[in-house]
Amino acid sequence: MEHIRTTKVEQVKLLDRFSTSNKSLTGTLYLTATHLLFIDSHQKETWILHHHIASVEKLALTTSGCPLVIQCKNFRIVHFIVPRERDCHDIYNSLLQLSKQAKYEDLYAFSYNPKQNDSERLRGWQLIDLAEEYKRMGVPNSNWQLSDANREYKICETYPRELYVPRIASKPIIVGSSKFRSKGRFPVLSYYHHNKEAAICRCSQPLSGFSARCLEDEHLLQAISKANPANHYMYVVDTRPKHRVQSWWATQKDIGRIIVRISSKIWNDEKIRESDEKKRLNAMANRAAGKGYENEDNYSNIRFQFVGIENIHVMRSSLQKLLEVNGTKGLSVSDFYSGLESSGWLRHIKAVMDAAIFLAKAIMVENASVLVHCSDGWDRTSQVCSLGSLLLDSYYRTIKGFMVLIEKDWISFGHKFSERCGHLDGDPKEVSPVFTQFLECVWHLTEQFPQDFEFNEAFLLQIHEHIHSCQFGNFLGNCQKEREELKLKEKTYSLWPFLLDDQTKYLNPLYSSKSQKFAVLEPNTVSFNFKFWRNMYHQFDRTLHPRESVCNIIMNMNEQNKQLEKDIKDLESKINKRKSEQIDGVLTKELLHPVHPESPILKTSLCFKEQTLLPVHDTLRTIEGSNPVDNRYSEYAEEFSKSEPAVVSLEYGVARMTC
């Protein structure tokens, strides 16, 4: 609260950024320790978490007040007009401080309290069990085993404790391979296809340098290949663009000569500053020590494939261009699509999809295992491995299964959520929409296969909301080791049980649960199948949305159908109850018949009544527009056409009235 100078400002205007008539709402702006709250004159509330704020800009003073523009990580943009410049300045400074926290303990998750006790909190964290997930896949088995090599994070700090490796891979081979891979991220199992006995494995790039060979790494890749008895070869998929790696490799060939020439220049040319040359030498040495790709000559039975996904810096720039196009008011159709194309965003989405499709085809068509890596193995590798698993296994297309997939391929394997999402005040160059791209790829799949996903678009949007909200502990930190040190399971809550409690909001009304376990999706990635995700990037611009949502209409129809089915059951229950009452009444009358002898006159009249009812009953057997074979109303018609019992006495009639 020490950063808050002004807690309440009245007569603030909220502008509609896409309104042609500068339409606005007037209300009161409140600033709390966790949220910015705007309540308009209609008592409608707009809540903005401080952690969602990406940037705050105070524009030049105008005649109507001081403009304040807030851009959020969930793509909300709000434009306030604050009457007094002093109030605007106070709110501006407060938001700058509150939106950029220096340490994890200041994030919202550590103060958020949903009124659960410790046991409920623990059950929430235990909802996802990755050991059970690997058992579902069929691991461990005769070819794959659980390794304890990283139990204390001694080999790789950014990997989880429990890793699955080929059974024939010894610990020295694992250790040797880890020293050859960037950040120690050696090849491990990500997904196992039980029917095909093929696997998706993941790692980071090799540290080739001048000595571009590691026997332990070669043995580990051979072990992965042999763990698949159905195929004698495997694929190594490098997710990076091939031209970038080839450029690096060409530079490596001349690295020695460059160092020698620079060294001689340092000693012989007095005009060149020694410190600058040392920096250049260090950079060259790092590249010589550094990073490349596998030499095909050293790996037998390995096929290499480049799929061309750009790095985090290209993706960040592409998203920024996309948002600039989205935020421009009054664009023509041609200008909008031209800007969308020049941003390259959908082209990047297609590249990720194509890579995942390659994985799925390699396993399903060729029965081949696949090893995936990018640079450090926590960005593009996570995208491709998780999306490939989603195509292969229908379990990951359910609500619970999708949570498991995110836990397995993103959270446990060390995707740097806090750096990529900018949870703390750190290096802005580390921020990149890697996970957002994954969610968008999944959305495109739901558009192509609307019956194959249990969840709807709202589920994806809600997950995207909380990777930036810092309200739950799932996405805090950059790896499992860091999360354990922060004691997130003791101090914060898990997102998954809260989503499951509201899962009726996230159910896809078109979902068909009859799909088989290994029903593989085969998406088509031709250009016209990719489109702009309006509900992601204009989620909060309600004036741009259609007046009727197809999904909402279908869900409302489903609710109406459920209500009608309930009404039918109620009516059937009443009919059955009526039948039982009539049977009980007949039995009662039979018991009373000897006690009250019937009158001959009454008997004659009742016999006459019984005869006249017969033709009426016969006419009700079929209804106009139907036939005797298929008559939905015959049962009810026969029920209502039944005559009253012929044996009735005056005394019994009085008895029924008194009951």
The residues annotated as belonging to the active site are 374
CA triple 378-536-190, angle to 5 deg: 25
Strands (E), 158-277: 163-166, 188-193, 198-203, 234-238
CA triple 427-429-430, angle to 5 deg: 75
Burial 308-336 (b: 16+ CB within 10 A, else e): bbbbbeebbebbeebbebbbeeeeeeeee
Contacts of 424 (CB under 8 A, 6+ apart): 100, 101, 102, 103, 104, 418
Q: Which two tokens stand for residue 476?
A: 């805090």
Q: How far apart are the first and last CA of the chain?
A: 72
**Closest Cα partner for 240 from 182, 198, 283?**
182
Give the C-alpha separation, 60 to 262, whole Å.
51
Say if CB 422 and CB 526 are below 8 A apart: no
Give the C-alpha separation, 547 to 638, whole Å.
47
Q: Which two tokens stand for residue 466?
A: 């909380």
Q: Which two tokens stand for residue 77?
A: 């943009």
DSSP 27-47: EEEEE-SSEEEEEETT--EEE
Residue with tokens 């039948």: 579
Alpha carbons within 13 angstroms on the beta-carbon side of residue 223 total: 26
Contacts of 559 (CB under 8 A, 6+ apart): none
Single-letter amino acid code for the residue at 475: F
Give the C-alpha separation, 603 to 650, whole Å.
12
- Pairing outcome for strands 198-203 and 369-373: parallel
Single-letter amino acid code for the residue at 251: T
Give the C-alpha separation, 91 to 6, whole Å.
7
DSSP 411-475: IITT--HHHHHT-BS--GGG---HHHHHHHHHHHHHHH-TTS-SB-HHHHHHHHHHHHH--SSTT
Query: Exposed/middle/buried for 240, CB within 10 Å: 0-12, 13-18, 19+?
Result: buried
What is the side-by-side order of every strand in the sheet holding 35-40?
45-49, 35-40, 24-31, 8-15, 77-82, 66-72, 53-58
**Closest Cα partner for 225 from 235, 215, 216?**
235
Single-letter amino acid code for the residue at 543: T
Instruction: Give, to the nearest 10 degrees, the angle between helix 380-392 and helix 399-406.
Output: 150
What is the DSSP code (8-state) at residue 410?
I
